[in-house]
Chain A
Amino acid sequence: MTTALETPPTGTLRDALVARLTALADDELLLGHRDSEWTSHGPLLEEDIAISNLAQDEIGHAVLWYEVRARLDGSDPDDLAFHRDPEGFRSCLLVEMPRGDWAFTMLRQFLFDCYEAEALPRLARSPYPPLAEAAAKAHREELFHLRHAGLWVRRLGLGTEESRSRALAALGVLWPEVGGLLAPLPTDADLVAAGYLPDWEALPGAVVARARAALGAADLDPGRDPVVPAVNARDRVSPQRAELLATLQSVARADPEAVVW
């Protein structure tokens, strides 16, 4: 049991926490947006409703992280989402890529859910209460995501030749990018040393093991472990991120003074 910190962190530790929260929030926001692109285009009405629910949850979790960040630096979550330039985002390529086909969307959702299933319980043990509380809240809701995406992985892997070949094609693109999702920020080491991110070094191995077990049960072999770069590339703007944000921010930017939408 760790002792709760009475006061919020200051100085470089605060900046490191702001950076980590930004990465957490941006991944959720961009994945939520990509999922939402299926709303009214789902393959079945049931799946359309399900993917729209997932999108809403992920965007809600982005809000949780932006609000924790706001307590540290006074930033405005809406402003961060809708008026920040692509250079200021810290999302990873995994969540930025276009939605692709249904297999690509569900495999991506599944891999991200595996990551959250390991990251959120760790963050829920952080001694910084706002971070721990947000993580505990999100973790409870993620159960429904993992169950849903996990079923789709089995359905795709064990279904037809067509579903299986699409799942493998998607995995070929997505699996290496799990490395970028898991790569540490340059300032994460400070947070780990100060105890803010409990058991964080074990996260990549745990995520890969969890994903492999479920993929194996669906007869999907992702091949070699993804390479986790020593430093991630989240500060580099991918064309996919720029394209996504141009859409996500277009309405807000069309009338930046608007108070009611």
Chain B
Amino acid sequence: MAAAWEALRGVADPELPAVNVVELGVVRSVRAVEGASGGTALEVVITPTFSACPALHVIEASVADAVSALGVAVRVVTALSPPWTSDDMTDAAREKLRAFGIAPPARHGGLVEIALEAPVRCPRCDHPDTRLRNAFGSTLCREIRTCRACGETFERFKPL
């Protein structure tokens, strides 16, 4: 089981290569179940960030490949409940996103609308005076902002 989690930490989100699917909160659980042919299989439960995220299909295949490589049968199941929230992302993942140039989402505890209005620090110069350029970006999970201090235009992972 530990080996399976370790293997899953090697699977990156194809649209956010800086973070892996475990620290992103996309992998929900790993457990041993009875396999199709009678032996033991590992069941990995994953959940989509945004439901229309095309990366999910790639993640599903990569997760299956990573666990199969350990020599065990694997079944990947997608669960919608409870719905993924950006609060599921670990602190380590947030730091990696920032280093990658994407401002991480603030923790909101369910108060998404407040998090959306809160100041966002520039991932380049750390200045809090940044403005929203577009509430939508290159993927469903991002918005586009500009830093008033250093002029950098950057993406922020949306609080969800």
Contact = CB atoms under 8 A, between A and B. Distances in A.
A144 B80 contact: no
A15 interface: no
A140 B134 contact: no
A46 B138 CA distance: 10
Contacts of B51: 57, 60-61, 63-64, 137-138, 141
Interface string B115-158: 01000000000000000011111101000100000000000001
Contact of A49 (B82, B112, B137): B137
Interface stretch (A75-83, A128-136, A234-242): A128-136
A148 interface: yes
Contact of A56 (B82, B83, B134, B140): B140
B50 A57 contact: yes
Interface in A108-166: 129, 132-134, 136-138, 140-141, 143-144, 147-148
Interface residues of B, number: 23
Interface in A38-55: 46, 49-50, 52-54
Nearest to B82: A136
A6 B51 CA distance: 25
Interface in B95-119: 112-113, 116
A134 B79 CA distance: 10
Contacts of B83: 133, 136-137, 140
Interface string B63-88: 00000000000000000111101000
Nearest to A58: B52
Interface SS of chain B: helix, strand, loop or mixed?
A: loop
Contact of A46 (B80, B82, B133, B158): B133
A183 interface: no
Given A136-B81, A137-B80, A140-B83, A61 B135 contact: no
Contacts of A46: 133-134, 136, 144
A141 B51 CA distance: 8
B50 A133 contact: no
B52 A59 contact: yes
Most chain A beta-carbon neighbours within 10 Å: one of B52, B113, B137, B138: B52
Contacts of A60: 50-53
A25 B14 CA distance: 28
B12 interface: no
Contact of B135 (A129, A140, A148): A148
A138 B133 CA distance: 25
Given A57-B52, A137-B51, A49 B113 contact: no
Contact of A143 (B112, B137, B138): B112
Contacts of B26: none
A144 B158 contact: yes
B160 interface: yes
A49 B139 CA distance: 9
A144 B143 CA distance: 11
A147 B135 contact: yes
21 contacts: A49-B134, A49-B136, A50-B135, A52-B136, A53-B137, A56-B52, A56-B140, A57-B51, A57-B52, A57-B140, A60-B51, A60-B53, A129-B81, A132-B81, A133-B81, A137-B48, A137-B81, A141-B160, A143-B112, A144-B158, A147-B116
Given A61-B52, A64-B51, A141-B140, 15 more contacts: A50-B134, A50-B135, A53-B137, A56-B52, A57-B50, A59-B52, A60-B51, A60-B52, A60-B53, A134-B80, A137-B51, A140-B83, A141-B50, A147-B135, A148-B135
Question: Which 10 pairs show the lowest CB-CB distances between chains A and B?
Answer: A60-B52, A133-B81, A50-B136, A53-B136, A46-B134, A133-B80, A60-B51, A137-B83, A137-B80, A56-B52
